[in-house]
Structure 1
Amino acid sequence: MALGVLALFSLMFAIVALAVSRTLGDTALGFGPFFASAVTAALLWFRHPDRPVSWKLIASLVSSFMGVNLFAFGVFALFSPGNDGFVPNALMSLSLCFTPAAVLLLLAAALYFWEYRLGSKAQQQARLIAFNTADAFQQRMEKLRRAREYLANIDALVDAHRAPASPLWLTALPDNLRQWLSHLEKLVNRLNDFDTDPLIQRDLRDAPEKISRLKAQLDAETSPEVRAQLAETLEELENQYGHLRELAEMMRRSELEIDENLARMGVIYSQLQMLDTRSLQKSRARRLSEEIEEQTHRLDDLLAAMDEVISSL
Protein backbone atom coordinates (compact mmCIF):
# COMPACT_ATOMS: atom_id res chain seq x y z
CA MET A 1 0.00 0.00 0.00
CA ALA A 2 2.73 2.44 1.01
CA LEU A 3 4.73 1.48 -2.06
CA GLY A 4 1.72 2.14 -4.30
CA VAL A 5 1.17 5.60 -2.83
CA LEU A 6 4.87 6.37 -3.18
CA ALA A 7 4.88 5.20 -6.79
CA LEU A 8 1.82 7.36 -7.57
CA PHE A 9 3.39 10.50 -6.13
CA SER A 10 6.67 9.65 -7.83
CA LEU A 11 4.90 9.35 -11.18
CA MET A 12 3.20 12.71 -10.66
CA PHE A 13 6.54 14.25 -9.71
CA ALA A 14 8.15 12.73 -12.81
CA ILE A 15 5.42 14.11 -15.09
CA VAL A 16 5.80 17.59 -13.62
CA ALA A 17 9.58 17.37 -13.91
CA LEU A 18 9.32 16.27 -17.53
CA ALA A 19 7.00 19.16 -18.32
CA VAL A 20 9.19 21.86 -16.80
CA SER A 21 12.64 20.33 -17.26
CA ARG A 22 15.13 22.00 -19.52
CA THR A 23 18.06 19.60 -19.19
CA LEU A 24 18.71 15.88 -18.93
CA GLY A 25 19.69 16.40 -15.30
CA ASP A 26 16.31 17.88 -14.44
CA THR A 27 14.57 14.94 -16.11
CA ALA A 28 16.74 12.41 -14.25
CA LEU A 29 16.00 14.09 -10.94
CA GLY A 30 12.28 13.95 -11.64
CA PHE A 31 12.22 10.34 -12.79
CA GLY A 32 14.54 9.08 -10.04
CA PRO A 33 11.84 8.37 -7.41
CA PHE A 34 9.58 6.86 -10.07
CA PHE A 35 12.24 4.43 -11.30
CA ALA A 36 13.16 3.63 -7.70
CA SER A 37 9.53 2.79 -6.92
CA ALA A 38 9.27 0.71 -10.10
CA VAL A 39 12.40 -1.27 -9.21
CA THR A 40 11.13 -1.84 -5.67
CA ALA A 41 7.76 -3.00 -7.00
CA ALA A 42 9.49 -5.40 -9.40
CA LEU A 43 11.57 -6.87 -6.57
CA LEU A 44 8.43 -7.40 -4.53
CA TRP A 45 6.66 -8.94 -7.51
CA PHE A 46 9.36 -11.53 -8.20
CA ARG A 47 9.92 -12.58 -4.58
CA HIS A 48 8.58 -15.90 -3.34
CA PRO A 49 5.08 -15.06 -2.04
CA ASP A 50 4.98 -18.03 0.33
CA ARG A 51 8.03 -16.85 2.24
CA PRO A 52 7.45 -14.31 5.04
CA VAL A 53 9.05 -10.88 4.79
CA SER A 54 12.53 -10.95 6.32
CA TRP A 55 15.09 -8.33 7.24
CA LYS A 56 17.11 -9.27 4.15
CA LEU A 57 14.22 -8.43 1.85
CA ILE A 58 13.49 -5.15 3.63
CA ALA A 59 17.17 -4.16 3.54
CA SER A 60 17.42 -4.99 -0.16
CA LEU A 61 14.32 -2.91 -0.96
CA VAL A 62 15.57 0.08 1.03
CA SER A 63 19.06 -0.18 -0.49
CA SER A 64 17.73 -0.42 -4.04
CA PHE A 65 15.36 2.52 -3.53
CA MET A 66 18.12 4.71 -2.09
CA GLY A 67 20.62 3.55 -4.71
CA VAL A 68 18.41 4.39 -7.68
CA ASN A 69 17.52 7.79 -6.25
CA LEU A 70 21.15 8.54 -5.49
CA PHE A 71 22.12 7.54 -9.02
CA ALA A 72 19.43 9.84 -10.43
CA PHE A 73 20.69 12.68 -8.25
CA GLY A 74 24.19 12.01 -9.56
CA VAL A 75 22.94 12.34 -13.15
CA PHE A 76 21.26 15.58 -12.19
CA ALA A 77 24.47 16.90 -10.63
CA LEU A 78 26.56 15.71 -13.59
CA PHE A 79 24.51 17.62 -16.15
CA SER A 80 24.08 20.68 -13.95
CA PRO A 81 27.71 21.72 -13.52
CA GLY A 82 27.06 25.33 -12.54
CA ASN A 83 30.12 27.53 -12.15
CA ASP A 84 32.58 24.77 -11.24
CA GLY A 85 32.79 23.24 -14.69
CA PHE A 86 31.94 19.79 -15.95
CA VAL A 87 35.06 17.85 -14.86
CA PRO A 88 35.11 18.92 -11.18
CA ASN A 89 31.38 18.38 -10.95
CA ALA A 90 31.71 14.94 -12.58
CA LEU A 91 34.36 13.92 -10.05
CA MET A 92 32.18 15.12 -7.21
CA SER A 93 29.16 13.27 -8.64
CA LEU A 94 31.25 10.13 -8.98
CA SER A 95 32.50 10.23 -5.41
CA LEU A 96 29.34 11.43 -3.67
CA CYS A 97 26.59 9.87 -5.81
CA PHE A 98 27.60 7.22 -8.32
CA THR A 99 29.99 5.28 -6.08
CA PRO A 100 27.62 5.12 -3.05
CA ALA A 101 24.75 4.31 -5.42
CA ALA A 102 26.73 1.41 -6.91
CA VAL A 103 27.54 0.11 -3.42
CA LEU A 104 23.89 0.33 -2.37
CA LEU A 105 22.68 -1.38 -5.54
CA LEU A 106 25.25 -4.17 -5.20
CA LEU A 107 24.24 -4.62 -1.57
CA ALA A 108 20.57 -4.71 -2.59
CA ALA A 109 21.30 -7.30 -5.28
CA ALA A 110 23.30 -9.48 -2.90
CA LEU A 111 20.64 -9.38 -0.17
CA TYR A 112 17.81 -9.93 -2.63
CA PHE A 113 19.41 -12.94 -4.30
CA TRP A 114 20.33 -14.34 -0.89
CA GLU A 115 16.69 -14.05 0.13
CA TYR A 116 15.53 -15.40 -3.24
CA ARG A 117 17.84 -18.39 -2.93
CA LEU A 118 16.51 -19.15 0.54
CA GLY A 119 12.98 -18.90 -0.83
CA SER A 120 13.82 -21.25 -3.69
CA LYS A 121 15.36 -23.71 -1.27
CA ALA A 122 12.28 -23.58 0.96
CA GLN A 123 10.07 -24.05 -2.09
CA GLN A 124 12.08 -27.09 -3.18
CA GLN A 125 11.83 -28.53 0.31
CA ALA A 126 8.08 -27.96 0.30
CA ARG A 127 7.80 -29.74 -3.05
CA LEU A 128 9.94 -32.60 -1.73
CA ILE A 129 7.77 -32.88 1.36
CA ALA A 130 4.66 -32.86 -0.81
CA PHE A 131 6.17 -35.56 -3.01
CA ASN A 132 7.14 -37.66 0.02
CA THR A 133 3.68 -37.14 1.49
CA ALA A 134 2.02 -38.32 -1.72
CA ASP A 135 4.33 -41.32 -1.80
CA ALA A 136 3.48 -42.10 1.83
CA PHE A 137 -0.23 -41.86 0.99
CA GLN A 138 0.18 -44.40 -1.79
CA GLN A 139 2.14 -46.77 0.43
CA ARG A 140 -0.48 -46.58 3.17
CA MET A 141 -3.30 -47.17 0.71
CA GLU A 142 -1.45 -50.20 -0.60
CA LYS A 143 -1.03 -51.51 2.95
CA LEU A 144 -4.73 -51.04 3.60
CA ARG A 145 -5.54 -52.90 0.40
CA ARG A 146 -3.37 -55.81 1.51
CA ALA A 147 -4.94 -55.72 4.99
CA ARG A 148 -8.45 -55.90 3.51
CA GLU A 149 -7.34 -58.79 1.33
CA TYR A 150 -5.87 -60.68 4.30
CA LEU A 151 -8.92 -60.15 6.48
CA ALA A 152 -11.36 -61.06 3.71
CA ASN A 153 -9.47 -64.31 3.11
CA ILE A 154 -9.34 -65.05 6.84
CA ASP A 155 -13.08 -64.44 7.10
CA ALA A 156 -13.76 -66.67 4.10
CA LEU A 157 -11.50 -69.39 5.47
CA VAL A 158 -13.22 -69.41 8.85
CA ASP A 159 -16.66 -69.28 7.25
CA ALA A 160 -15.84 -72.30 5.08
CA HIS A 161 -14.96 -74.37 8.16
CA ARG A 162 -17.70 -73.07 10.45
CA ALA A 163 -19.76 -75.90 11.96
CA PRO A 164 -23.38 -75.68 13.19
CA ALA A 165 -22.23 -75.83 16.80
CA SER A 166 -19.35 -73.39 16.52
CA PRO A 167 -18.10 -71.80 19.73
CA LEU A 168 -19.02 -68.22 20.54
CA TRP A 169 -15.56 -66.81 19.83
CA LEU A 170 -15.65 -68.28 16.33
CA THR A 171 -19.04 -66.74 15.66
CA ALA A 172 -17.77 -63.34 16.80
CA LEU A 173 -14.60 -63.57 14.69
CA PRO A 174 -15.99 -61.71 11.61
CA ASP A 175 -16.96 -58.74 13.79
CA ASN A 176 -13.51 -58.76 15.40
CA LEU A 177 -11.90 -58.76 11.96
CA ARG A 178 -14.01 -55.81 10.83
CA GLN A 179 -13.16 -53.94 14.01
CA TRP A 180 -9.47 -54.63 13.48
CA LEU A 181 -9.66 -53.28 9.94
CA SER A 182 -11.68 -50.25 11.09
CA HIS A 183 -9.02 -49.33 13.66
CA LEU A 184 -6.31 -49.75 11.06
CA GLU A 185 -8.15 -47.44 8.66
CA LYS A 186 -8.56 -44.84 11.40
CA LEU A 187 -4.84 -45.00 12.09
CA VAL A 188 -4.01 -44.46 8.43
CA ASN A 189 -6.41 -41.51 8.28
CA ARG A 190 -4.75 -39.96 11.35
CA LEU A 191 -1.35 -40.29 9.70
CA ASN A 192 -2.61 -38.71 6.49
CA ASP A 193 -4.25 -35.86 8.39
CA PHE A 194 -1.05 -35.24 10.34
CA ASP A 195 1.07 -35.09 7.19
CA THR A 196 -1.29 -32.65 5.46
CA ASP A 197 -2.15 -30.38 8.40
CA PRO A 198 -0.47 -27.06 7.48
CA LEU A 199 -0.65 -25.61 10.99
CA ILE A 200 0.97 -28.60 12.69
CA GLN A 201 3.68 -28.87 10.05
CA ARG A 202 4.35 -25.13 10.24
CA ASP A 203 4.57 -25.16 14.05
CA LEU A 204 6.88 -28.16 14.02
CA ARG A 205 9.14 -26.37 11.55
CA ASP A 206 9.09 -22.88 13.10
CA ALA A 207 8.88 -23.59 16.84
CA PRO A 208 12.63 -24.25 17.43
CA GLU A 209 13.58 -20.93 15.81
CA LYS A 210 10.92 -19.06 17.80
CA ILE A 211 12.12 -20.65 21.04
CA SER A 212 15.73 -19.68 20.31
CA ARG A 213 14.69 -16.12 19.48
CA LEU A 214 12.64 -15.80 22.68
CA LYS A 215 15.53 -17.14 24.75
CA ALA A 216 17.85 -14.55 23.22
CA GLN A 217 15.33 -11.79 23.92
CA LEU A 218 14.92 -13.02 27.49
CA ASP A 219 18.68 -12.98 28.07
CA ALA A 220 18.99 -9.44 26.70
CA GLU A 221 15.93 -7.99 28.44
CA THR A 222 16.42 -5.98 31.64
CA SER A 223 12.85 -4.97 32.48
CA PRO A 224 11.35 -7.36 35.09
CA GLU A 225 7.84 -7.02 33.68
CA VAL A 226 8.92 -7.76 30.13
CA ARG A 227 11.12 -10.64 31.31
CA ALA A 228 8.17 -12.18 33.13
CA GLN A 229 6.01 -11.92 30.02
CA LEU A 230 8.75 -13.36 27.82
CA ALA A 231 9.29 -16.23 30.25
CA GLU A 232 5.58 -17.04 30.24
CA THR A 233 5.43 -16.97 26.45
CA LEU A 234 8.55 -19.11 26.23
CA GLU A 235 7.11 -21.68 28.62
CA GLU A 236 3.88 -21.92 26.62
CA LEU A 237 5.77 -22.28 23.36
CA GLU A 238 8.04 -24.97 24.80
CA ASN A 239 5.01 -26.87 26.10
CA GLN A 240 3.35 -26.66 22.71
CA TYR A 241 6.51 -27.82 20.96
CA GLY A 242 6.83 -30.69 23.42
CA HIS A 243 3.31 -31.87 22.61
CA LEU A 244 4.00 -31.54 18.90
CA ARG A 245 7.16 -33.63 19.18
CA GLU A 246 5.26 -36.21 21.20
CA LEU A 247 2.61 -36.34 18.49
CA ALA A 248 5.24 -36.63 15.75
CA GLU A 249 6.94 -39.46 17.63
CA MET A 250 3.59 -41.17 18.03
CA MET A 251 2.99 -40.90 14.30
CA ARG A 252 6.34 -42.54 13.57
CA ARG A 253 5.40 -45.36 15.91
CA SER A 254 2.07 -45.64 14.12
CA GLU A 255 3.81 -46.27 10.81
CA LEU A 256 5.64 -49.18 12.42
CA GLU A 257 2.40 -50.33 14.03
CA ILE A 258 0.72 -50.56 10.63
CA ASP A 259 3.57 -52.69 9.29
CA GLU A 260 3.45 -54.91 12.36
CA ASN A 261 -0.31 -55.40 12.07
CA LEU A 262 0.01 -56.24 8.40
CA ALA A 263 2.68 -58.82 9.21
CA ARG A 264 0.49 -60.34 11.95
CA MET A 265 -2.40 -60.62 9.51
CA GLY A 266 -0.20 -62.59 7.15
CA VAL A 267 0.94 -64.90 9.95
CA ILE A 268 -2.62 -65.49 11.19
CA TYR A 269 -3.82 -66.22 7.68
CA SER A 270 -1.03 -68.73 7.03
CA GLN A 271 -1.67 -70.45 10.38
CA LEU A 272 -5.41 -70.69 9.75
CA GLN A 273 -4.74 -72.31 6.39
CA MET A 274 -3.03 -75.18 8.16
CA LEU A 275 -6.01 -75.86 10.45
CA ASP A 276 -8.89 -78.13 9.57
CA THR A 277 -12.48 -77.91 10.78
CA ARG A 278 -11.82 -79.78 14.02
CA SER A 279 -8.76 -77.71 14.79
CA LEU A 280 -10.79 -74.53 14.48
CA GLN A 281 -12.84 -75.66 17.46
CA LYS A 282 -9.79 -76.09 19.68
CA SER A 283 -7.60 -73.83 21.76
CA ARG A 284 -4.97 -73.29 19.06
CA ALA A 285 -7.41 -71.46 16.82
CA ARG A 286 -8.85 -69.65 19.80
CA ARG A 287 -5.42 -68.22 20.54
CA LEU A 288 -5.41 -66.74 17.05
CA SER A 289 -8.75 -65.10 17.78
CA GLU A 290 -7.40 -63.69 21.03
CA GLU A 291 -4.41 -62.34 19.13
CA ILE A 292 -6.77 -60.52 16.76
CA GLU A 293 -8.53 -58.96 19.75
CA GLU A 294 -5.18 -58.00 21.27
CA GLN A 295 -4.04 -56.25 18.10
CA THR A 296 -7.37 -54.41 17.95
CA HIS A 297 -7.01 -53.24 21.56
CA ARG A 298 -3.47 -52.05 20.88
CA LEU A 299 -4.66 -49.94 17.98
CA ASP A 300 -7.51 -48.63 20.09
CA ASP A 301 -5.08 -47.57 22.83
CA LEU A 302 -2.85 -45.88 20.28
CA LEU A 303 -5.76 -43.95 18.78
CA ALA A 304 -6.88 -42.87 22.25
CA ALA A 305 -3.36 -41.66 23.06
CA MET A 306 -3.32 -39.66 19.82
CA ASP A 307 -6.63 -38.03 20.71
CA GLU A 308 -5.25 -37.07 24.11
CA VAL A 309 -2.13 -35.46 22.65
CA ILE A 310 -4.09 -33.65 19.93
CA SER A 311 -6.58 -32.29 22.47
CA SER A 312 -3.69 -30.83 24.48
CA LEU A 313 -2.37 -28.76 21.56
Structure 2
Amino acid sequence: MPVPTRSRRPLVVSVLGAGLLLTGCGVWPSQATAPAGAVKGRITLGFVNGGTTEFHTCLQESVERTARNNGVHLFTANSRQDGDTEVSNIEAMIARKVDALIVQTVDVEALKGDIAEAKAAGVPIFLTSVTPDDTSDLLGAVVVDLKEVGELDAEWIERDAAGRAVSVAVIAGAPGAASDLLTEAFAQRLPDNAEVVASRPGMYDPVKARTVAAAMIKDSPGLDYAFVANEEMAFAARKAFDAAGAEDVRIVTVNGTDEALAALKAGSLAATVSNSAADTGELAVQNVVSLLRKDQRADRIDKTPVRLVTRDNADTAPLYCPPD
Protein backbone atom coordinates (compact mmCIF):
# COMPACT_ATOMS: atom_id res chain seq x y z
CA MET A 1 0.00 0.00 0.00
CA PRO A 2 1.41 3.44 -0.88
CA VAL A 3 2.35 5.92 1.81
CA PRO A 4 -0.07 8.85 1.58
CA THR A 5 1.08 12.41 1.20
CA ARG A 6 -0.08 15.10 3.54
CA SER A 7 -0.02 18.86 3.31
CA ARG A 8 3.06 20.43 4.84
CA ARG A 9 3.94 23.93 5.85
CA PRO A 10 7.19 25.44 7.18
CA LEU A 11 7.99 24.57 10.76
CA VAL A 12 7.84 27.80 12.74
CA VAL A 13 8.38 28.43 16.40
CA SER A 14 4.98 29.61 17.58
CA VAL A 15 2.68 28.58 20.39
CA LEU A 16 -0.39 27.12 18.68
CA GLY A 17 -2.22 25.76 21.70
CA ALA A 18 -2.14 22.18 20.44
CA GLY A 19 -3.86 20.71 23.45
CA LEU A 20 -0.69 20.44 25.53
CA LEU A 21 -0.96 19.06 29.05
CA LEU A 22 1.66 19.61 31.73
CA THR A 23 2.62 16.54 33.75
CA GLY A 24 5.58 15.37 35.81
CA CYS A 25 7.09 16.11 39.18
CA GLY A 26 10.37 15.85 41.05
CA VAL A 27 13.79 17.33 40.43
CA TRP A 28 16.78 15.56 38.90
CA PRO A 29 19.91 15.89 41.02
CA SER A 30 22.74 18.18 39.97
CA GLN A 31 25.06 16.73 37.32
CA ALA A 32 28.33 18.38 38.28
CA THR A 33 30.42 15.72 36.58
CA ALA A 34 28.28 15.33 33.44
CA PRO A 35 30.16 14.86 30.13
CA ALA A 36 30.66 17.85 27.85
CA GLY A 37 27.46 18.73 26.00
CA ALA A 38 25.23 16.77 28.36
CA VAL A 39 21.98 18.29 29.62
CA LYS A 40 22.39 19.23 33.27
CA GLY A 41 19.72 19.65 35.91
CA ARG A 42 16.08 18.76 35.38
CA ILE A 43 15.14 17.52 31.90
CA THR A 44 12.01 18.77 30.11
CA LEU A 45 10.53 16.52 27.43
CA GLY A 46 7.63 16.75 25.02
CA PHE A 47 5.56 13.77 23.89
CA VAL A 48 3.44 13.99 20.74
CA ASN A 49 1.17 10.96 20.50
CA GLY A 50 -0.33 9.87 17.18
CA GLY A 51 -3.79 8.61 18.08
CA THR A 52 -6.26 7.36 20.66
CA THR A 53 -6.32 3.58 20.23
CA GLU A 54 -5.58 1.33 23.19
CA PHE A 55 -1.94 1.19 22.05
CA HIS A 56 -1.65 4.99 22.03
CA THR A 57 -3.40 5.32 25.39
CA CYS A 58 -1.17 2.74 27.05
CA LEU A 59 1.94 4.26 25.44
CA GLN A 60 1.08 7.67 26.87
CA GLU A 61 0.41 6.26 30.34
CA SER A 62 3.81 4.57 30.26
CA VAL A 63 5.60 7.72 29.07
CA GLU A 64 3.93 9.79 31.79
CA ARG A 65 4.62 7.21 34.53
CA THR A 66 8.29 6.82 33.55
CA ALA A 67 8.74 10.59 33.35
CA ARG A 68 7.36 10.98 36.88
CA ASN A 69 9.59 8.22 38.18
CA ASN A 70 12.66 9.85 36.64
CA GLY A 71 11.98 13.43 37.73
CA VAL A 72 11.30 14.55 34.15
CA HIS A 73 9.12 17.57 33.38
CA LEU A 74 6.73 16.46 30.58
CA PHE A 75 4.38 18.16 28.11
CA THR A 76 2.02 16.00 26.04
CA ALA A 77 -0.15 16.45 22.94
CA ASN A 78 -2.15 14.18 20.62
CA SER A 79 -2.27 14.43 16.82
CA ARG A 80 -5.30 12.10 16.45
CA GLN A 81 -4.06 10.55 13.20
CA ASP A 82 -3.88 13.95 11.49
CA GLY A 83 -0.66 15.10 9.86
CA ASP A 84 -1.28 18.84 10.09
CA THR A 85 -2.14 18.55 13.78
CA GLU A 86 1.15 16.74 14.26
CA VAL A 87 3.02 19.66 12.70
CA SER A 88 1.23 22.11 15.01
CA ASN A 89 2.02 19.94 18.03
CA ILE A 90 5.72 19.81 17.14
CA GLU A 91 5.79 23.59 16.67
CA ALA A 92 4.22 24.12 20.07
CA MET A 93 6.74 21.81 21.72
CA ILE A 94 9.64 23.71 20.14
CA ALA A 95 8.14 26.96 21.44
CA ARG A 96 8.16 25.45 24.93
CA LYS A 97 11.91 24.87 24.54
CA VAL A 98 11.80 21.21 25.56
CA ASP A 99 15.15 19.43 25.74
CA ALA A 100 13.92 16.68 23.41
CA LEU A 101 10.69 15.52 21.80
CA ILE A 102 9.32 11.97 21.74
CA VAL A 103 6.99 11.40 18.78
CA GLN A 104 4.64 8.53 17.98
CA THR A 105 4.24 9.78 14.43
CA VAL A 106 1.21 9.70 12.16
CA ASP A 107 3.43 9.29 9.08
CA VAL A 108 7.18 8.81 9.47
CA GLU A 109 7.98 9.59 5.83
CA ALA A 110 6.21 12.95 5.96
CA LEU A 111 7.93 13.72 9.28
CA LYS A 112 11.45 13.74 7.79
CA GLY A 113 11.58 17.50 7.18
CA ASP A 114 10.27 18.24 10.65
CA ILE A 115 12.97 16.07 12.23
CA ALA A 116 15.72 18.10 10.58
CA GLU A 117 14.10 21.47 11.35
CA ALA A 118 13.40 20.56 14.97
CA LYS A 119 17.01 19.47 15.41
CA ALA A 120 18.18 22.78 13.91
CA ALA A 121 16.01 24.56 16.48
CA GLY A 122 17.82 22.67 19.24
CA VAL A 123 15.05 20.15 19.91
CA PRO A 124 16.16 16.65 18.87
CA ILE A 125 13.40 14.15 18.08
CA PHE A 126 13.17 10.62 19.42
CA LEU A 127 10.69 8.31 17.66
CA THR A 128 8.63 5.41 18.95
CA SER A 129 7.48 2.38 16.90
CA VAL A 130 8.94 3.30 13.49
CA THR A 131 11.86 5.23 11.98
CA PRO A 132 12.78 6.60 8.54
CA ASP A 133 15.51 4.81 6.62
CA ASP A 134 18.00 7.55 7.57
CA THR A 135 18.13 8.00 11.35
CA SER A 136 21.13 10.36 11.41
CA ASP A 137 19.03 13.40 12.36
CA LEU A 138 17.27 11.59 15.20
CA LEU A 139 18.29 11.62 18.85
CA GLY A 140 17.23 7.98 18.77
CA ALA A 141 14.23 5.63 18.71
CA VAL A 142 12.52 2.66 20.29
CA VAL A 143 11.04 0.64 17.47
CA VAL A 144 8.67 -2.27 17.16
CA ASP A 145 10.06 -4.56 14.47
CA LEU A 146 6.87 -4.52 12.41
CA LYS A 147 8.43 -6.73 9.78
CA GLU A 148 9.04 -9.40 12.41
CA VAL A 149 5.53 -8.93 13.82
CA GLY A 150 3.90 -9.50 10.43
CA GLU A 151 6.14 -12.46 9.70
CA LEU A 152 5.34 -14.15 13.02
CA ASP A 153 1.60 -14.08 12.25
CA ALA A 154 2.22 -15.35 8.72
CA GLU A 155 4.41 -18.18 10.00
CA TRP A 156 1.64 -19.24 12.37
CA ILE A 157 -0.78 -19.47 9.43
CA GLU A 158 1.79 -21.51 7.50
CA ARG A 159 2.02 -24.01 10.34
CA ASP A 160 -1.72 -24.10 10.95
CA ALA A 161 -2.62 -24.53 7.26
CA ALA A 162 -0.13 -27.43 7.03
CA GLY A 163 0.18 -27.23 3.24
CA ARG A 164 -3.51 -27.02 2.29
CA ALA A 165 -4.68 -24.22 -0.03
CA VAL A 166 -6.17 -21.41 2.07
CA SER A 167 -7.58 -17.91 1.53
CA VAL A 168 -6.55 -14.93 3.64
CA ALA A 169 -8.01 -11.45 4.14
CA VAL A 170 -6.00 -8.47 5.41
CA ILE A 171 -7.57 -5.65 7.41
CA ALA A 172 -4.84 -3.01 7.60
CA GLY A 173 -4.63 0.05 9.82
CA ALA A 174 -4.43 3.58 8.45
CA PRO A 175 -2.39 3.91 5.25
CA GLY A 176 1.13 4.99 6.19
CA ALA A 177 4.53 3.63 7.13
CA ALA A 178 3.59 1.57 10.21
CA SER A 179 0.58 -0.23 8.73
CA ASP A 180 2.29 -0.67 5.37
CA LEU A 181 5.39 -2.25 6.91
CA LEU A 182 3.27 -4.62 8.98
CA THR A 183 0.88 -5.81 6.29
CA GLU A 184 3.48 -6.04 3.53
CA ALA A 185 5.77 -8.17 5.73
CA PHE A 186 2.82 -10.41 6.57
CA ALA A 187 1.79 -10.88 2.94
CA GLN A 188 5.33 -11.49 1.73
CA ARG A 189 5.96 -14.17 4.36
CA LEU A 190 2.82 -16.17 3.65
CA PRO A 191 3.49 -19.56 2.00
CA ASP A 192 2.57 -20.21 -1.63
CA ASN A 193 -0.49 -22.20 -0.55
CA ALA A 194 -2.00 -19.10 1.15
CA GLU A 195 -3.66 -16.55 -1.16
CA VAL A 196 -4.59 -13.01 -0.07
CA VAL A 197 -8.07 -12.57 -1.55
CA ALA A 198 -8.90 -9.17 -0.02
CA SER A 199 -6.96 -6.30 1.57
CA ARG A 200 -8.51 -3.07 2.81
CA PRO A 201 -7.70 -0.50 5.54
CA GLY A 202 -9.74 -0.53 8.74
CA MET A 203 -8.21 2.83 9.79
CA TYR A 204 -7.64 1.49 13.36
CA ASP A 205 -11.38 2.07 13.82
CA PRO A 206 -13.49 -0.87 15.10
CA VAL A 207 -16.64 0.43 13.38
CA LYS A 208 -14.83 0.72 10.05
CA ALA A 209 -13.16 -2.67 10.56
CA ARG A 210 -16.48 -4.38 11.17
CA THR A 211 -17.88 -2.91 7.95
CA VAL A 212 -14.78 -4.00 6.03
CA ALA A 213 -14.92 -7.51 7.49
CA ALA A 214 -18.60 -7.87 6.62
CA ALA A 215 -17.89 -6.92 3.01
CA MET A 216 -14.94 -9.31 2.83
CA ILE A 217 -16.87 -12.33 4.07
CA LYS A 218 -19.69 -11.53 1.66
CA ASP A 219 -17.26 -11.44 -1.27
CA SER A 220 -15.20 -14.43 -0.04
CA PRO A 221 -17.60 -16.75 1.83
CA GLY A 222 -14.99 -19.53 2.06
CA LEU A 223 -12.43 -17.33 3.82
CA ASP A 224 -10.02 -19.30 6.04
CA TYR A 225 -7.93 -16.64 7.82
CA ALA A 226 -7.91 -12.90 8.50
CA PHE A 227 -4.91 -10.83 9.49
CA VAL A 228 -6.03 -7.69 11.38
CA ALA A 229 -3.60 -4.87 12.21
CA ASN A 230 -4.67 -4.45 15.83
CA GLU A 231 -6.84 -6.21 18.36
CA GLU A 232 -9.56 -3.58 18.66
CA MET A 233 -10.29 -4.06 14.96
CA ALA A 234 -9.89 -7.84 15.33
CA PHE A 235 -12.71 -8.00 17.89
CA ALA A 236 -14.94 -6.03 15.51
CA ALA A 237 -14.02 -8.32 12.62
CA ARG A 238 -14.85 -11.34 14.78
CA LYS A 239 -18.35 -9.96 15.34
CA ALA A 240 -18.84 -9.41 11.59
CA PHE A 241 -17.65 -12.90 10.69
CA ASP A 242 -19.79 -14.52 13.37
CA ALA A 243 -22.86 -12.55 12.30
CA ALA A 244 -22.33 -13.86 8.75
CA GLY A 245 -22.08 -17.44 9.97
CA ALA A 246 -18.32 -17.55 9.38
CA GLU A 247 -17.25 -18.61 12.86
CA ASP A 248 -14.49 -20.79 11.38
CA VAL A 249 -12.45 -17.83 10.07
CA ARG A 250 -9.28 -17.81 12.15
CA ILE A 251 -8.05 -14.33 13.09
CA VAL A 252 -4.41 -13.41 13.70
CA THR A 253 -3.60 -9.96 15.00
CA VAL A 254 -1.20 -7.70 16.90
CA ASN A 255 -0.62 -6.22 20.41
CA GLY A 256 -1.19 -8.72 23.24
CA THR A 257 -3.73 -6.87 25.39
CA ASP A 258 -5.44 -8.56 28.34
CA GLU A 259 -8.67 -8.77 26.33
CA ALA A 260 -6.85 -10.50 23.48
CA LEU A 261 -5.23 -13.05 25.78
CA ALA A 262 -8.68 -13.91 27.12
CA ALA A 263 -9.96 -14.21 23.54
CA LEU A 264 -7.12 -16.56 22.66
CA LYS A 265 -8.07 -18.82 25.55
CA ALA A 266 -11.72 -18.69 24.50
CA GLY A 267 -10.86 -19.47 20.87
CA SER A 268 -12.29 -16.32 19.28
CA LEU A 269 -8.79 -15.21 18.23
CA ALA A 270 -6.17 -17.66 16.93
CA ALA A 271 -2.89 -15.79 17.48
CA THR A 272 -1.47 -12.39 18.30
CA VAL A 273 2.00 -10.89 18.53
CA SER A 274 2.76 -9.30 21.87
CA ASN A 275 4.59 -5.96 21.74
CA SER A 276 3.97 -4.12 24.98
CA ALA A 277 3.15 -0.44 24.62
CA ALA A 278 4.25 -0.07 28.25
CA ASP A 279 7.72 -1.39 27.35
CA THR A 280 7.95 1.02 24.42
CA GLY A 281 7.02 4.05 26.53
CA GLU A 282 9.34 3.14 29.37
CA LEU A 283 12.30 2.52 27.07
CA ALA A 284 11.63 5.77 25.21
CA VAL A 285 11.82 8.00 28.29
CA GLN A 286 14.74 6.13 29.86
CA ASN A 287 16.76 6.16 26.65
CA VAL A 288 16.06 9.83 25.93
CA VAL A 289 17.22 10.79 29.41
CA SER A 290 20.37 8.66 29.03
CA LEU A 291 21.14 10.12 25.59
CA LEU A 292 20.68 13.69 26.81
CA ARG A 293 22.97 12.92 29.76
CA LYS A 294 25.54 11.52 27.28
CA ASP A 295 25.41 8.12 28.95
CA GLN A 296 27.57 5.90 26.75
CA ARG A 297 25.53 2.82 27.72
CA ALA A 298 22.37 4.14 26.05
CA ASP A 299 21.19 2.57 22.78
CA ARG A 300 20.24 5.11 20.11
CA ILE A 301 18.00 2.63 18.30
CA ASP A 302 16.40 0.14 20.66
CA LYS A 303 13.72 -2.50 20.11
CA THR A 304 10.54 -3.42 21.95
CA PRO A 305 10.51 -7.20 22.49
CA VAL A 306 7.93 -9.08 20.39
CA ARG A 307 6.52 -12.58 20.87
CA LEU A 308 3.92 -14.80 19.17
CA VAL A 309 1.12 -15.66 21.57
CA THR A 310 -1.51 -18.40 21.16
CA ARG A 311 -3.87 -20.26 23.48
CA ASP A 312 -0.97 -22.53 24.45
CA ASN A 313 1.25 -19.79 25.92
CA ALA A 314 -1.25 -17.00 26.73
CA ASP A 315 -0.75 -17.49 30.47
CA THR A 316 2.92 -16.51 30.18
CA ALA A 317 2.53 -13.49 27.87
CA PRO A 318 3.92 -10.16 29.11
CA LEU A 319 1.55 -7.50 30.44
CA TYR A 320 0.55 -5.08 27.69
CA CYS A 321 -0.41 -2.13 29.86
CA PRO A 322 0.33 -2.60 33.57
CA PRO A 323 -1.78 -0.44 35.91
CA ASP A 324 -0.19 2.50 37.72
TM norm structure 2? 0.23
TM-score computed with the length of structure 1 as normaliser: 0.24
Q: Name the structure where strand makes up a greater proportion of residues.
A: 2
Larger Cα-atom Rg: 1
Structure number having the greater helix percentage: 1
Could you say which structure has the greater relative contact order, defined with CA pairs below 8 angstroms and 6 or more residues apart? 2
